[in-house]
Amino acid sequence: MTRYDLALIGFGGVNRALAELINSKGAELAEELGFSLRIVAITDLRLGSLVQPDGIDLPTVLALGPGDGDFSRHPGGSWEPRNQWVIQNSTADIVAEATFTNPNDGEPAVSHVRWALEAGKHVCTTNKGPVALRGHELKELAAANGVSFEFEGSVISGTPIIRLAQRMFAGLALEGVEGILNGTCNYILGRMESGLGLEEAVKEAQDLGYAEADPTADIEGFDVQLKVVILANELLGAKLTRADVPREGISALTAADIAHAAANGQRWKLIGSAKRRDDGSIYARVAPVALPNDHPLAGISGPTNAVAFETDLLGQVTVSGPGAGRTETAYALLSDIIAIHEGTPGRTSGSANRIEAARV
């Protein structure tokens, strides 16, 4: 059976959830999917780095709490998060990149992805930065090195809208896409409909873990802007940058705006959209929109995300699902790994001197 060795870059909620999934369901997944997964390297800002070519003992690592020190006390461990060394020199076949998103230049995630691709390793990432800001360049680099660059979780977590559109809409002309791409904003707007002010709704979202301590990226539309760039470029064949996508968040919406929309059978939603003009060019934007109650996106409530695709033969097709959550996003990484496997038939794990060991 084929085996893939993984290096996890970042060991916060998402990659930790992926490790938990492999630890608890690894045998079941191997039987179902036809390949097995083994984690051989982990890096983390708090814990440092851990490299064990024969496989990391996951129960031990997953049991580490905030006060239990770093990886330096473990064989193959260091207090330093040696990201570049681990990516370039570990025996991993696949690098799972799940660090924070830098909306300005995509670093350090862009470098993480580049190092891996240059080293001939597949990459799966949940990070919007590398895809939105350097996607074309990184895909070309992946192709040049004969490896895969997968990023399903970069838009709405575990809901596979990119792969759905690319694989299931074959034979259809996709003319546009619009969606609720930020669950935090959607939750906040719903609470404002219930009578809370913006600041109260943001505080509640923070208390529930939906919003960061600094909610600017969410409520001012920066997060959605990156996701729109990804959707436009990946699904509509555009070559947009952030500068091409006008952005307006929800911070200017007032209680009066909310009430006025309700009185007219409408609901405010922060909408990211990209549409093909008659001349073939792509127009995209991020802005709050008062949608009529019969619009398919108007009924999407709470932290849920949804995307409506405009097609030539089916008309509008709407898909909704979780837009956040550590387990849901970890599933996106797993779906990327499955796509990598499907794109590399017969591939065995690791270097040539470990091929036989990968067979069971």
CB-CB contact of 9 with 97 (8 Å):
yes
Task: Enter the tokens of residue 118.
Answer: 């240059």
Mean pLDDT per 10-residue interval, the chain, length 360 residues? 96 94 95 96 96 96 87 95 96 96 93 98 96 96 97 90 89 94 94 95 91 92 97 96 97 94 97 96 98 95 94 94 86 95 59 30
3-class secondary-structure state, position 171: coil
Q: Is residue 19 part of a domain?
A: yes
pLDDT for res 240: 97
Q: Are residues 203 and 285 in the same domain?
A: yes
Please check whether residue 197 is in contact with residue 227, taking contact to mean a CB–CB distance below 8 angstroms: no
- Please indicate, yes or no, whether residues 178 and 233 belong to a single structural domain of this protein: yes
Which tens digit of pLDDT belongs to each residue from 205-234?
Answer: 999 888 888 999 999 999 999 999 999 999
Strand-pair category, 304-311 with 149-150: unpaired
Instruction: Please tell me the predicted confidence (pLDDT) of residue 80.
Output: 95
In the chain, how many domains are there? 2
d(CA 56, CA 40): 5
| Residue 253 located in a structural domain | yes
Question: Is residue 163 in some structural domain?
Answer: no
Domain at 276, CATH number: 3.30.360.10
- CATH code for the domain of 333: 3.40.50.720
Query: Is 164 within a domain?
Result: no
Phi-psi region of 76 (alpha: psi -120 to 50; beta: other; left: phi over 0): left
Token pair belonging to 312: 């030539």
Residue 347: predicted pLDDT: 40
What does the angle CA 158 – CA 182 – CA 289 come to, to the nearest 5 degrees? 135
Same-domain status, 74 and 101 = yes
Considering the domain architecture, whether residues 330 and 318 belong to the same structural domain is answered as no
Whether residue 141 is found in the same domain as residue 223:
no
With CA atoms as reference, report the closest residue to 354 among 22, 44, 55: 55
Say yes or no: 95 and 125 in one domain: yes
Peptide bond into 292 cis (omega under 30): no
Report if residue 162 sits inside a domain: no
Buried b (16+ CB within 10 A) or exposed e, 297-307: bbebeebbbbb
Quick one: which H or E segment has residue 136? helix 128-144
Annotated catalytic residue: which of 121, 227, 239, 275? 227
Residues 183 and 45 in one domain: no
Whether 151 and 183 share a structural domain? no
The verdict on 88 and 151 lying in the same domain is yes
Tell me whether residue 138 is in a domain.
yes
**What is the residue range of 238's domain?**
170-322
Q: Cα-flanking dihedrals φ and ψ of residue 271, to 5°?
A: -110, 130
The reply to whether 251 and 268 lie within a common domain is: yes
> What's the burial of 20, exposed, middle or buried (CB within 10 Å: 0-12/13-18/19+)?
middle
239 is catalytic: no
* Nearest-angstrom CA–CA distance, 218 and 251: 10
Return the pLDDT at 344. Answer: 62
Q: What token pair was written down for 229?
A: 């760039």
Angle at 327 between CA 325 and CA 331, to 5 degrees: 115
Strand, coil or helix: 280: coil
Instruction: State the Cα–Cα distance between residues 141 and 44, nearest whole angstrom.
Output: 25
